[in-house]
């Protein structure tokens, strides 16, 4: 017996749930959990089906292709760990959290490698017997620097690339290469405080809450599809540095929750938005 996840999205039509679940039933697959959503504004249908049983992927997908309308997309992916590469700069809190979670089996991932543009987190990474690649941007232009990182990433063939406080802007080419596979944690409640120094901006604006946003990266700065967000209360006692310190706990929690959702294949990217089946 195996467990796989079927992800379907297509233009909305009558009877889609019925058609898809009929096919699963016909294949004697047990539906362990099913979620669906119709975006009526855009006439689009999304369904995530957790299946258990003996799979013949080829005929299952062929049957689905016969039944579904033109323009449908479907994926059948095994449940279980995904392979990731993590990119960092100097801050330890997000990377540290993911390392501890992998160590204790609390997250469905295998960290293939960590890449840093500084070596500040080399020591921490190697404590957990994970290769660390220090790829300094010093003396390189963006294309050259990214080229070196791409070579390393692609060697590991990761399912996802996680920007765990990687603090440099990435080029359109890099972003395009890992479309829908590149996840960032931004240290503000987007779309507030786009760009650099969001805690400084928050402090100067005098906000009473600060937050963090995990999102897929696109070529609009801090504008990709949002996966998860959260906030905490602050007040006049907080300096910009206090906000940054308090914010780190939200950042790692939001990134961690977003990763769980992505790794468990609960997220559809759709235009500049996500459909997330929690």
- DSSP letter, residue 208: S
Site for a second copy in 237-276 (CB under 8 A): 237, 239, 245, 248-249, 253, 256-257, 272-276
Report which of 240, 187, 249 is spatially closest to residue 212, judged by C-alpha positions.
Answer: 187
- Of 113, 126, 115, 116, give the one whose Cα is nearest residue 89: 116
One of 77, 208, 220, 221 touching a second copy (CB under 8 A) = 208
* Cα atoms in the Cβ-side hemisphere of radius 13 Å centred on 194: 8
222 has catalytic annotation: yes
With binding defined as CB under 8 A, does residue 119 bind a second copy? no
Q: Which is nearer to a second copy, 110 or 249 (CB)?
A: 249
Phi, psi at 133, each rounded to 5°: -110, 115
**Closer CB to a second copy, 106 or 176, in the complex:** 106
Q: Does 42 bind a second copy (CB under 8 A)?
A: no
Residue 206 in the binding site for a second copy (CB under 8 A): yes
Work out how close the CB of 207 gets to a second copy at its nearest, in angstroms, rounded to a whole number. Answer: 6
E-strand spans in the chain?
2-11, 30-39, 44-53, 73-78, 82-88, 109-116, 132-134, 160-163, 182-186, 209-216, 226-233, 267-270, 273-276
**Alpha carbon distance 107, 25 (integer Å):** 31
Q: Are 117 and 168 in contact (CB under 8 A)?
A: yes
In the structure encoding, which two tokens stand for residue 58, read together?
A: 């080829």
CA angle in degrees (0–180, nearest 5) for 130-136-138: 175
Within positions 69 to 98, which residues make up the interface with a second copy, using CB under 8 A?
91-93, 96-97
Find the binding residues for a second copy in span 139-168 (CB under 8 A).
none
- Tell whether residue 122 is a contact of a second copy (CB under 8 A): no
For position 41 contacting a second copy by CB under 8 A, the verdict is: yes
Interacting positions 220-239 with a second copy (CB under 8 A): 225-231, 235-237, 239
Nearer to a second copy, 76 or 232 (CB): 232
| Matching residue, tokens 């929750």 | 257
Main-chain dihedrals φ then ψ at residue 128, nearest 5 degrees: -100, 15
Q: List the one residue from 34, 81, 89, 147 that touches a second copy (CB under 8 A).
A: 34
Among 66, 222, 230, 249, the active-site one is 222
| Contact residues for 45 (Cβ-Cβ < 8 A; gap 6+) | 8, 9, 10, 11, 12, 13, 16, 36, 37, 38, 39
Query: Hunting for tokens 């006692």 — which residue is that?
Result: 237
Which listed range, 80-88, 109-117, 151-159, 189-197, lies at the site for a second copy (CB under 8 A)? 189-197
Say how many residues touch a second copy, by CB under 8 A: 69
Judged by CB under 8 A, the stretch of 54-62, 68-76, 173-181, 204-212 that binds a second copy is 204-212
Among 21, 81, 180, 219, binds a second copy (CB under 8 A): 21
Residues known to be catalytic: 222
Binding site for a second copy (CB under 8 A): 14-15, 17-18, 21-22, 24-25, 28, 30-41, 91-93, 96-97, 99-101, 103-104, 106, 124, 127-128, 189-193, 205-209, 211, 225-231, 235-237, 239, 245, 248-249, 253, 256-257, 272-276, 278
């Amino acid at each position: 017996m195996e467990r796989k996840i079927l992800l379907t999205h297509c233009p909305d039509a009558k009877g889609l749930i019925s058609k898809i679940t009929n096919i699963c039933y016909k294949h004697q697959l047990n539906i362990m959990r099913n979620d669906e959503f119709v975006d009526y504004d855009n006439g689009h249908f999304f369904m995530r089906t957790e299946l258990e049983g003996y799979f013949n992927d080829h005929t299952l997908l062929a049957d689905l292709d016969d039944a579904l309308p033109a323009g449908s997309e479907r994926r059948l992916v095994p449940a279980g760990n995904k392979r990731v590469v993590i990119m960092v700069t100097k801050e330890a809190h997000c990377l540290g959290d993911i390392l501890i979670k992998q160590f204790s089996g609390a997250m469905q991932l295998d960290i293939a490698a960590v890449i840093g543009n500084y070596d500040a987190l080399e020591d921490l990474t190697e404590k957990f017997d994970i290769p660390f690649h220090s790829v300094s941007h010093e003396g390189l232009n963006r294309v050259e620097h990214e080229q070196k990182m791409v070579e390393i990433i692609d060697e590991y063939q990761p399912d996802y690339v996680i920007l765990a406080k990687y603090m440099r802007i990435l080029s359109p080419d890099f972003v395009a290469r890992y479309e829908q596979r590149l996840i960032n944690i931004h240290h503000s409640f987007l779309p507030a405080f786009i760009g650099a120094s969001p805690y400084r901006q928050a402090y100067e604006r005098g906000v009473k809450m600060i937050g963090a946003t995990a999102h897929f990266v696109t070529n609009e700065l801090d504008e990709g599809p949002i996966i998860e967000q959260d906030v905490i209360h602050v007040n006049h006692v907080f300096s910009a540095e206090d906000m940054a310190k308090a914010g780190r706990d939200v950042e790692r929690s939001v990134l961690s929750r977003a990763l769980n959702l992505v790794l468990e294949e609960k997220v559809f990217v759709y235009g500049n938005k996500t459909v997330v089946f929690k």
